Every structure is written in C-alpha cells, then in structure tokens.
C-alpha cells in the first residue's frame, strides 16, 4: 500500500522539478521568443490556465489568465502577494521581474498553476514556443538509477473508448503483474483485499470507475440510506452507493487525460479502505459482506489437507485455470479449458481428482462452520466449494472434448454470478453529451 504522505511528497518533488526546469528555460529565453505554458480543461475543449512569457529590456514579463481569478477574492490576494498586477481584466494578471530573478518568476507561476488553477501534477501542464511543443524537464546531475520496478505512465490522451480500454488494461497488467481478466461487458475483473472488484472504462465519456460490491442482502433500506449519507461525508474520494439491496464502493476518475499513476494510487486507496472494514460496518448497514474471490482471499479458513496460496502444490495448468477465472464465476468455456490442459486426457483426470478433493474439503469446513453458527466462515467456505465445483464441471466438459472430439455438444454461455449491478444502471445519463465526439 502506498502511504498518503509519500504520495504528497512525490507530488511536491515533481512541482519542485518543474519549477527548476521552468526557471532554466526562462533564463535561456531569447529577445524575440515567446514561451507559453498552460493546461487544458478536463474536456480538452478549452484552456484552463495560460501563462505567456517574453523578454523586454532585460526583464521577464509573464502574463497569466485564469477564470477563477475573477470570482474568488482569496485567489486575487494570493497572486498579488507574489507580485502579480491586474492587467485591465479581473481574470488576467502580469508579473515583471529582472532577468536574473527567473527563479521568482517560476515560483510565482507554480502558485498560479497549482493553487489558483488547481492543476494536480505538472504532468498535466504543456509548454510550447513558436517552434512547437516543448518538454520542460531539468537535466539531472547524474544519470538516473535503472530499476526493474514497473512504473505506470504519467499521462496518456486516449482518442476513443477503445484506446482508453487498452490504456487501462496496460496499467492494470503492470500494477498486478499479469494481464487482467474481463467479464462479459468488457470490464476488468480484479481482486482487492479478497473482494471481487471491477475497473470499468466508460464507453461514452472519458471516465474510469473502480467498483467494489461490498454488502448484499441489506435490510432496512431507509436506515441504510441515512447511514451511507453520514459515511460519505467522511470520505474524500470513495463514494458508497445503495443499489437495490447491495452497497457498492465507487471511485470515479477523469480520463482526459488518463493517468496511470492516478489509477494505481486510487486502487491502493480503495484497497486500504477495504482493509479497514469490520463487522460493525456491515451491522450498521444491515447487510453481509459480498462473497470474496476464490483465488485471493488470504483470510479464508484452510480445510484440513488443503494447501495455502503460498504453497499450493497444484499443477501449473490447474493454477492457470484458477488465475484465468479469478472471480470464480466459471467464465472459461470447455474448449479454452482443454487448450490450457494441453488436450491431455490423463492430466485432466488428475486435475478432476484434485478439484473434487478440494470441493469435498471446503464442504466439510462449511458444515463445521454451520454447526458452530459462524455465518461469515460458512459463506466463505461455500463460495470456495462452489468455485471448485464449477472448475470440476469445466474440466469434465473439457474431458468430453478431448476423449470424444466428434460428438456434438450443446453450448451454454457461462452465467454471471457476480452481485455487481449491470454497467448500464450505473452510467446511463441520456441528458449528458457523448464523450469522444
């Protein structure tokens, strides 16, 4: 998990690097050159803020324009404290300093970008001269140390829903170390602290949603709505919603531009939130936690004779099947299962034996939990048993393909077992304009 303090320090360091790079570039500005620095609005239809620099009589002149300056007097006082002077309009200011004080100009510019315009990170800032786009980076005194650690891309500009979907997939693959699975709607299925979770690139506007079904079978919906209203006032980024009798945790991220760094940070934020949940949370809302994933629940009890995730002892092909169906929803068809098993009849028979033993072991643990009146443990065990049962069914279907390849068979599409609401219920807003138009 990433620490919030470390994230803030990283952002501050990025702005310090940007300020130094801007100062270096201003020190090298020529007499007839104009440097423009700015940032686009979220819909990329207009400029959110612009700063224009030019040289006159050994002095740097910077003209800044930002709409919020005309409406917020506290922002007016903030820029005036840095030496900016109103330039005939309430939304436009200028600053003029000697050329040898470019550091002061750069610092005042960062204040406008960060504090006035609200730019979260300098990666969203663009610069250009009359010669074309300019990258404001500062030369390092020493070459950076190479690292094998994957780092998400700072920012991308997807042109359509397909490019956004691909960009999200690349970031998730890097963040989790393996290509994520998708459900029937094309949404990415991941595991966060044992909860089956979804990362949903919107198909109609530049937005990415992180969705985690938390509770199901919620009773007392009026009371639950009141509790959610109170809880939502505590969280800056996570929104708790009630859909039918289910409580979901949601984070919506703008994706124009799309930032892989922001997505990874908010995945960590969501996982940190999930780790803090306890039984009191479920009791206050009158529901029970949604079923956990079969592959990633470290807290689930381990039946006698079974292995832990750290030492499963399972054959690689069977592990592959489990990872490809991490949600435990039985998403693989018989042909895909046979392919993973190498069309090896003996191997499939061996995998069937293992899965049937696991199913029996988890069912026995469920019986023990039921006898002890432990509802939470019972639900986890039944979910595990169900996942192994579906794997048994998939392996038997694959065995039929391998041993009787020419026998006609009926094909039934896999059913969705997730408690997640359909995407259309979450995102349909016919009154809003299309996104990538």
One-character DSSP codes across 320-342: HHHHHTTT-S----HHHHHHHTT
Please compute the mean of the pLDDT values over residues 388-400 and round it to a whole number.
Answer: 84
Residue 97 pLDDT > 60, yes or no? yes
Q: What residue ranges do the domains of the chain occupy?
A: 11-134, 155-289, 316-403
pLDDT in tens, 42-56: 555 656 788 899 998
Residues forming a β-bridge with 156: 258
- The topology under which CATH files domain 11-134 is Yope Regulator; Chain: A, (3.30.1460)
Say which residues have a Cβ less than 8 Å from residue 142's Cβ, sequence separation at least 6. none
pLDDT band at 412 (very low <50, low <70, confident <90, very high): very low
Please tell me the distance from the alpha carbon of residue 124 to that of residue 154, in angstroms, as a whole number. Answer: 9
Are residues 247 and 287 in contact, defined by beta-carbon separation less than 8 angstroms?
A: yes
- Residue 1 pLDDT: 40
Please compute the mean of the pLDDT values over residues 368-389 and round it to a whole number.
Answer: 76
pLDDT band at 350 (very low <50, low <70, confident <90, very high): confident
How are beta strands 92-98 and 85-89 bridged, if at all? antiparallel
- Pick the range with the lowest mean pLDDT from 95-104, 170-179, 411-420: 411-420
Please tell me the distance from the alpha carbon of residue 190 to that of residue 394, in angstroms, as a whole number. Answer: 21
Please compute the mean of the pLDDT values over residues 2-11 and round it to a whole number.
Answer: 67
pLDDT in tens, 127-179: 888 888 888 765 443 444 444 556 666 678 888 899 999 999 999 988 888 88
- Give 258's DSSP letter: B
Dihedral sign for Cα 367, 373, 376, 379, please: positive
Would you tell me how many other CB atoms lie within 10 Å of the CB of residue 146?
Answer: 6
- Residue 72 pLDDT: 59
Count of residues for the chain?
437
- The label of the residue with tokens 């042909």 reads 335
Please tell me the distance from the alpha carbon of residue 236 to that of residue 437, in angstroms, as a whole number. Answer: 30
- Residue 199 pLDDT: 95
Residue 102 pLDDT > 60, yes or no? yes
- Pick the range with the lowest mean pLDDT from 143-157, 227-241, 247-261, 416-430: 416-430
Query: What are residue 360's phi and psi, to 5 degrees?
Result: -65, -45
CATH number (1.25.40.10, 3.40.50.2300, 3.30.1460.10, 3.60.15.10) of 155-289 reads: 3.30.1460.10
Would you tell me how many other CB atoms lie within 10 Å of the CB of residue 166?
Answer: 13
pLDDT band at 420 (very low <50, low <70, confident <90, very high): very low
Are residues 206 and 433 in contact, defined by beta-carbon separation less than 8 angstroms?
A: no
Residue 307 pLDDT > 60, yes or no? no
> Rounded mean pLDDT of the chain?
76
pLDDT band at 331 (very low <50, low <70, confident <90, very high): low
- Whether 155-289 and 11-134 are alike in CATH topology: the answer is yes
């Amino acid at each position: 998990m990433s620490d919030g303090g470390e994230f803030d320090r990283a952002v501050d360091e990025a702005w310090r690097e940007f300020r130094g790079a801007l100062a270096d570039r201003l020190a090298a500005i020529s007499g007839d050159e104009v440097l423009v620095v700015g940032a686009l609005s979220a819909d990329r239809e207009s400029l959110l803020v612009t700063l224009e620099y030019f040289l006159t009589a050994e002095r740097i002149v910077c003209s800044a324009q930002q709409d919020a300056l005309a409406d917020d007097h506290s922002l007016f006082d903030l820029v005036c404290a840095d030496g900016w002077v109103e330039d005939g309009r309430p939304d436009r200011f200028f600053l003029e300093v000697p050329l040898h004080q470019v550091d002061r100009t750069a610092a005042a510019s960062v204040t406008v970008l960060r504090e006035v315009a609200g730019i979260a990170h300098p990666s969203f800032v663009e610069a250009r001269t009359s010669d074309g786009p300019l990258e404001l980076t500062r030369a390092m005194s020493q070459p950076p140390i190479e690292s094998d650690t994957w780092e998400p891309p700072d920012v991308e500009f997807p042109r359509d829903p397909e490019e956004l979907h691909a960009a999200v997939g690349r970031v998730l693959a890097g963040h989790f170390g393996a290509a994520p699975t998708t459900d029937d709607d094309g949404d990415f299925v991941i595991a966060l602290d044992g909860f089956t979770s979804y990362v949903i690139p919107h198909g109609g506007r530049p937005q990415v949603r992180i969705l985690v079904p938390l509770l199901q079978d919620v009773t007392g919906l009026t009371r639950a709505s009141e509790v959610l209203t109170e809880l939502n006032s505590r969280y800056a980024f996570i929104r708790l919603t009630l859909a039918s009798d289910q409580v979901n945790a949601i984070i919506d991220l703008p994706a124009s531009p799309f930032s892989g760094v922001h997505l990874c940070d908010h995945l960590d934020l969501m996982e940190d939130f999930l780790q803090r949940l306890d039984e009191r949370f479920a009791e206050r809302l009158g529901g029970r936690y949604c079923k956990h994933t079969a592959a990633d629940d470290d807290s689930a009890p381990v039946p006698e004779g079974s292995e832990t995730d750290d030492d499963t002892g399972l054959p690689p092909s069977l592990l592959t099947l489990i990872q490809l169906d991490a949600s435990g929803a039985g998403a693989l068809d018989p042909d895909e299962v046979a392919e993973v098993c190498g069309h090896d009849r003996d191997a499939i028979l061996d995998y069937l034996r293992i899965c049937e033993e696991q199913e029996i072991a988890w069912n026995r643990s469920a019986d023990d939990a039921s006898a002890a009146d432990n509802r939470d443990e019972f639900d986890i065990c039944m979910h595990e048993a169900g996942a192994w049962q579906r794997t048994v069914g998939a392996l038997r279907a694959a065995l039929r393909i391998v041993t009787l390849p020419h026998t006609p068979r009926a094909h039934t599409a896999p059913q969705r077992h997730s408690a997640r609401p359909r995407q259309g219920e979450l995102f349909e807003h016919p009154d809003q304009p299309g996104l990538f138009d």
